[in-house]
Structure 1
Amino acid sequence: MGIQADLVVRNARIRTLSESLPFAEALAAWRGRIVAVGREEEIEGLIGPGTRVLDAGGGTVLPGFHDAHCHILLFGLSLVEVNLREAQTIADVVAAVAAHAQRTPPGKWIRGGGYNENKLAERRHPTRRDLDPVSPHHPVWLSHISGHMGVANSRALALAGITRETPDPPGGRIVRDANGEPTGLLLETAQELIKRILPPYTLEETKAALAAAGRRMAAEGITAAQDAWAGWIAPEEFRAYQEAVAEGLLPQRVWLMVDVERLAVRDGRFDFAFGLHTGFGGDRLRLGAIKIFIDGSLIGRTAALRQPYVDPPDATGMLVKDPPALRELIRCAHAGGWQVAMHAIGDRAIEAALDAIEEVMGPEAARFRPRIEHCGIVPPDLLRRLRRLRPVVVTQPRFLYELGEGFRAALGEERMAWTYPLASLREVPLALSSDRPVVDGAPLRGLQAALTRRTREGWALAPQEALTLEEALRAYTIGAAYAAFAETELGTLEPGKWADLVVLGADPFETDPEALETIPIYATVVGGQVVYEGR
């Protein structure tokens, strides 16, 4: 007796992204994996009484979108806390805090974030003076959209013991007014002064946030995601992930990229749970790379640049890790079997990352797949080194749409030709991602940005760096899988791979690139299970 499929997708226009069979009409899955792809009549014999038949209604089927760099838990929390992504004025920020204060018991923390001073009419950060009148009885902490800074009110500063005498910590800065008093704005590592006193999220709060994130991502066609900074938000964060996946609250396949600052060093290696390292786990939840920050953000003027910012002209950003410390961290990770993922946005930071890769891993570095996350400013000499060393570049085209005008203001016109390049990276392993909740994480919006490179205001930023749709799709599927050592299991729709797919209401190859974000998601399937239906 032959196999009876658990799932059959039919009446579809399937783009497999496989070179052996690029197009098909139907697909069958059994025990979570694809067993057949082909014409309707070839798949029909696999349908039995227990088969779930998913009629695509003539829609286009693609491999499921795979977000190679996002912050799943942070995104989930943004859905349930103070969300300032749409704030347009300081008054909007204050009003959102005031609304939460009215329904929060006195003394309890109010936290949230997502504000971007470049989008606020005042073109400045909120301060404690703005927040204090509406939150006299609550400590408040609001993270910047970049995650590299945040604002506290006076009550929070007092609880943290931050005064005019508090020194700036290494790798961070307490912003002060003309009188030397803290404004409430804390940059980079200075945020830890607040974060260390924040009350911990409970296990149930953490799982609820993951569930909220999982539902939204499923509705966007995301079947896999890599949390690019795991282990610093909640005391039982990994347990919450494990239980959320086991209970079906988080239906995506997940990789956890471990925060290097949370790892102790023993015998020249990172000491993590009896020697566990990248790759440990199952089909739904695995350990990913070690995450190392090298610099900050462009819009926050903390990304490390070789030449000063246009505004302010005396700033060049900061290296969070100096080169010797960075090399030692990478050496420890490499010796312990960890893949390394380095946050490097400015050209000075990217140069430091490449120097460390070359020194620690040598000429065969590419086989270990070191990752450069973001890779924001890439002048010609660094581009040549990227092509030679071939690390995996994990970048975010949606930044161009939402943050592009802030980049232009920070860098000036000349450097925009090197800012978040895409086409120039064709000779380098490339994965696309969102970095959500920094920007909108819907993959179709990310694809649209990769093809158009337009800002929200309508400016085209280095249009010669645009990708084709085929290239962008591959980077959001095959490239993302490669970045996680999962290309033999994910990224294309062919027998033997996991049945992770998305059904779209229109063919993106027949859609105006400026309208890709309007394509509806009909269904999302993970491991042969339908986790979202939008019709």
Structure 2
Amino acid sequence: MHPDTSLLQPSRPSERSRNYLGLALLASIALTACAGKEAAKPEAQLVYTNANILTVDQSNAQAEAVAIRDGKILAVGGAKDIAGFIGANTKVVDLQGKTMIPGIYDAHSHFAVAKLTGTFVADLNSPPIGTVRNIGDIVTLLKAQQAKVGAKEWVSGSGYDDTLLAEKRHPTRADLDQISATQPIFLTHVSGHLAVANSAALALAGITASTPNPEGGVIRKNAKGEPDGVLEETALYLVAKIRPALTDAQQREGIRLAGQWYASHGVTTANHGAATTPTLLKMLDETALAGKLPIRVVTWSGFDTMDAVDKVKLSSGKIKVGGVKEFSDGSIQGYTGYLGEHYHTPFHGDTHYRGFPRFTREDLAARVLKVHESGRQIMIHANGDAAIDDVLYAYRKAQEASPRKDARQVLIHSQMMREDQLDEVKRLAAIPSFFVLHTYYWGDRHRDIFIGPDRASRISPARSAKERGLVYTIHTDTPIVPMEPMRLIWSAVNRATTSGVVLGAEQRIPVADALRATTINAACQNFEEKERGSIEVGKYADMVVLSDNLAKVDPMAIKDIKVLETIVEGQSVYRAAR
């Protein structure tokens, strides 16, 4: 059965003058049976009025005011309608015509690690995110990190992008050995799917010329057959698993900083879309109980952690365990995405190279079936179209073997989803979540290097999903790129690259649809559309006040809209400096 999409599909916005009251409100002002008189309206604790409210309800209605009581929305409508809910103890906030939208619901990111880079790990990003332009810059930043951590600790960095470096290559163990060949050094690629280790780190992991590639990964080697330090996909875990974890204090500080960062950008529900462990889950809950986490977090477990995570008792009311995350392939910009046809620029001269899957198709299907039969939701990372084929096969086989209504199987990134695959997504009632910011951050290189102009023009095919009536979401994948929901919406609407070129104009979507993809549709993805994702009676009062009306500004200016206030359950958790 398809998810209940009656509240999710976009339609033409109604006139601003259209006011409405929900069924709950109508009930509250119904005539009493005995006296035939109108019952008194309940007093709101908080009212926002004189606003331009984009409710993102079924008809994309607009309103002027909203009343809140006990953290939930009591009424929405015209200012005169809401005036009846204002009592002696009601706090009234005049928004002076400012625009209010539902709280941003993060469809996919890695919340718990979002602020580690730049805080506890060297930030190796290139422009437009960071400052690194060559391998010399990486060495300089790592030496500074070395000085910070001391001579006995691991030196770590994250975010380097080989295609943006002057040398047009990955750093190697030889480059890192310039810093130290005896102190372990470990860097992760901007995609998160590759890493580089120096000689000391490789030695600690026991990686030598004779070490075989792990399943779903590659240990790159030089002409002499020696590891050159670059590790692809599962191979990076050989080193990552022995690197000392951050201390509890550091992890908790990372969570606190991430909560502040997300809230400052209008996010009211975040996602930790990685293999959450019981330890991390408890840490998130304890941080929330301590009053240091202003927003909610939905976590995804891994295939190997799903049973353990479900046993953790949560007390804060802000942390929820969602679905189970798995991987089908890697990253196209890392040449590990699994394509149906070869890469545009041959990888190391191999004109037939298409990347590779994490699992065989049948192994993936077996893993999916186990999760599916447990009653859990599953979401699988799939960038290349060959990887997407494998995921759709696994989802179809699971439903055939064990039919389940409203399973809401999710495809994370869905970057190269073809038209026929979108048709299959519709048949399965699955949900594609598009990392549409690829068009901005990597669009030029996808076109010129990785997949060529034809395939690049239709990455993240949100318009095709819209035309099929699919429920779809869009996401930032933070910390891969910054948590900037306004830039995310801007990217889906404009599809402009960093060079200013439009990449695939036919896949652009209207502003209203992009807003739905970051609010109500994202809530639907996590089975929360009845509680969050729109400004409607009975839902939690999760809302954001913006500096401009994103429905009316020049579409190219959407990315510049500022968040003025973020509200979670009627409580202001962020206010911009005035």
Structure 1 pair 140–456 and aligned structure 2 pair: CA distance change class (3 A): same
**Partners of 2:187 and 2:536 in 1: how far apart?**
45
Q: Which of 332, 335, 345 is 2:370 aligned to?
A: 332
Q: Which of 177, 182, 185 is 1:140 aligned to?
A: 185
The CA deviation at 1:46 is 3.5
The CA deviation at 1:281 is 8.0
The CA deviation at 1:365 is 6.1
Q: Which of 205, 216, 221 is 2:261 aligned to?
A: 216
Q: In structure 2, what is the equivalent of residue 22 of structure 1?
A: 61
The CA deviation at 1:525 is 0.4
**Partners of 2:92 and 2:373 in 1: how far apart?**
48
Q: In structure 1, what is the equivalent of residue 113 of structure 2?
A: 74
**Partners of 1:482 and 1:389 in 2: how far apart?**
16
Normalised by the length of structure 1, the TM-score is: 0.93
**Residue type matched to 1:492 in 2?**
S
1:259 paired with 2:309, answer no
Asked whether the 8 Å contact 1:281–1:287 carries over to 2, the reply is: no
Q: In structure 2, what is the equivalent of residue 414 of structure 1?
A: 454
The DSSP-based 3-state class of the residue aligned with 2:345 is coil
**Partners of 2:75 and 2:293 in 1: how far apart?**
27
Q: Which of 175, 190, 193 is 2:238 aligned to?
A: 193
Q: In structure 1, what is the equivalent of residue 465 of structure 2?
A: 425
User: 1:225-240 counterparts in 2 under 5 A?
Assistant: 225-231=270-276, 236-240=279-283
The CA deviation at 1:38 is 1.9
**Partners of 1:201 and 1:517 in 2: how far apart?**
34
The CA deviation at 1:347 is 0.8
Q: In structure 2, what is the equivalent of residue 348 of structure 1?
A: 386
Asked whether the 8 Å contact 1:203–1:236 carries over to 2, the reply is: no
Q: In structure 1, what is the equivalent of residue 285 of structure 2?
A: 242
Asked whether the 8 Å contact 1:6–1:528 carries over to 2, the reply is: no
The DSSP-based 3-state class of the residue aligned with 1:439 is coil
1:39 paired with 2:73, answer no
User: 1:424-463 counterparts in 2 under 5 A?
Assistant: 424-426=464-466, 427=468, 428-463=470-505
User: 1:145-160 counterparts in 2 under 5 A?
Assistant: 145-160=190-205
Question: Which segment drifts farther, 402-411 or 361-370?
Answer: 361-370
1:455-514 CA distance string (max 9 Å, x none): 101222111000100111011111101100000011110110010011001101111111
1:392 paired with 2:431, answer yes
**Partners of 2:260 and 2:74 in 1: how far apart?**
27
Q: In structure 1, what is the equivalent of residue 18 of structure 2?
A: none
**Partners of 2:198 and 2:414 in 1: how far apart?**
33
The CA deviation at 1:21 is 7.5
**Partners of 1:240 and 1:128 in 2: how far apart?**
35
Normalised by the length of structure 2, the TM-score is: 0.87
1:476 paired with 2:518, answer yes
The CA deviation at 1:419 is 1.9
1:295 paired with 2:329, answer yes
**Partners of 1:126 and 1:58 in 2: how far apart?**
52
The CA deviation at 1:79 is 4.0
**Residue type matched to 1:171 in 2?**
G
**Partners of 1:360 and 1:275 in 2: how far apart?**
25
Q: In structure 2, what is the equivalent of residue 272 of structure 1?
A: 308
**Residue type matched to 1:272 in 2?**
A
Q: In structure 2, what is the equivalent of residue 169 of structure 1?
A: 214
The CA deviation at 1:418 is 3.5
Question: Which segment drifts farther, 60-69 or 22-31?
Answer: 22-31
**Residue type matched to 1:161 in 2?**
G
**Partners of 1:179 and 1:79 in 2: how far apart?**
36
Q: From the two aligned structures, give the one with the greater strand fraction.
A: 1
**Partners of 2:115 and 2:89 in 1: how far apart?**
35
**Partners of 1:493 and 1:258 in 2: how far apart?**
29
The DSSP-based 3-state class of the residue aligned with 1:69 is coil
Asked whether the 8 Å contact 1:523–1:533 carries over to 2, the reply is: yes
**Residue type matched to 1:300 in 2?**
G
The CA deviation at 1:23 is 1.4
The CA deviation at 1:48 is 4.8
1:531 paired with 2:576, answer no
Q: In structure 2, what is the equivalent of residue 111 of structure 1?
A: 156
1:258-283 CA distance string (max 9 Å, x none): 122435xxxxxxx3357789xx9875
**Partners of 2:52 and 2:106 in 1: how far apart?**
23
Asked whether the 8 Å contact 2:218–2:235 carries over to 1, the reply is: yes
Question: Which segment drifts farther, 104-113 or 132-141?
Answer: 132-141
Q: In structure 1, what is the equivalent of residue 33 of structure 2?
A: none
**Partners of 2:107 and 2:290 in 1: how far apart?**
23
The DSSP-based 3-state class of the residue aligned with 2:273 is strand
The CA deviation at 1:52 is 4.2
Structure of greater Rg: 2
Asked whether the 8 Å contact 1:60–1:506 carries over to 2, the reply is: yes
**Residue type matched to 1:322 in 2?**
T
Structure 1 pair 366–337 and aligned structure 2 pair: CA distance change class (3 A): closer
The DSSP-based 3-state class of the residue aligned with 1:356 is helix
The CA deviation at 1:364 is 6.2
Question: Which segment drifts farther, 84-93 or 349-358?
Answer: 84-93
**Partners of 1:289 and 1:395 in 2: how far apart?**
17
The CA deviation at 1:406 is 2.7
The DSSP-based 3-state class of the residue aligned with 2:116 is helix
The CA deviation at 1:200 is 2.0
Question: Which segment drifts farther, 412-421 or 149-158?
Answer: 412-421
Report sequence identity in percent.
35
Asked whether the 8 Å contact 1:127–1:153 carries over to 2, the reply is: yes
Q: Which of 499, 524, 527 is 2:541 aligned to?
A: 499
**Partners of 1:288 and 1:230 in 2: how far apart?**
11
Which ranges of structure 1 fall in alignment gaps of 5 or more residues? 264-270
Question: Which segment drifts farther, 48-57 or 138-147?
Answer: 48-57
**Residue type matched to 1:105 in 2?**
G
The DSSP-based 3-state class of the residue aligned with 2:354 is coil
Asked whether the 8 Å contact 2:443–2:456 carries over to 1, the reply is: no
The CA deviation at 1:519 is 1.1
**Partners of 1:31 and 1:112 in 2: how far apart?**
44
The CA deviation at 1:432 is 1.2
RMSD, aligned α-carbons:
2.1
Question: Which segment drifts farther, 82-91 or 445-454?
Answer: 82-91
Asked whether the 8 Å contact 2:441–2:497 carries over to 1, the reply is: yes
Q: In structure 2, what is the equivalent of residue 268 of structure 1?
A: none
The DSSP-based 3-state class of the residue aligned with 2:164 is coil
Question: Which segment drifts farther, 291-300 or 315-324?
Answer: 315-324
The DSSP-based 3-state class of the residue aligned with 1:256 is strand
Which ranges of structure 2 fall in alignment gaps of 5 or more residues? 1-39
The CA deviation at 1:55 is 3.4
Q: In structure 2, what is the equivalent of residue 205 of structure 1?
A: 250
Asked whether the 8 Å contact 1:502–1:521 carries over to 2, the reply is: yes
Q: In structure 2, what is the equivalent of residue 89 of structure 1?
A: 134
The CA deviation at 1:248 is 2.8
Structure 1 pair 159–19 and aligned structure 2 pair: CA distance change class (3 A): same
Structure 1 pair 185–65 and aligned structure 2 pair: CA distance change class (3 A): same
1:188-217 CA distance string (max 9 Å, x none): 000111111111223222111011111111
The DSSP-based 3-state class of the residue aligned with 2:489 is helix
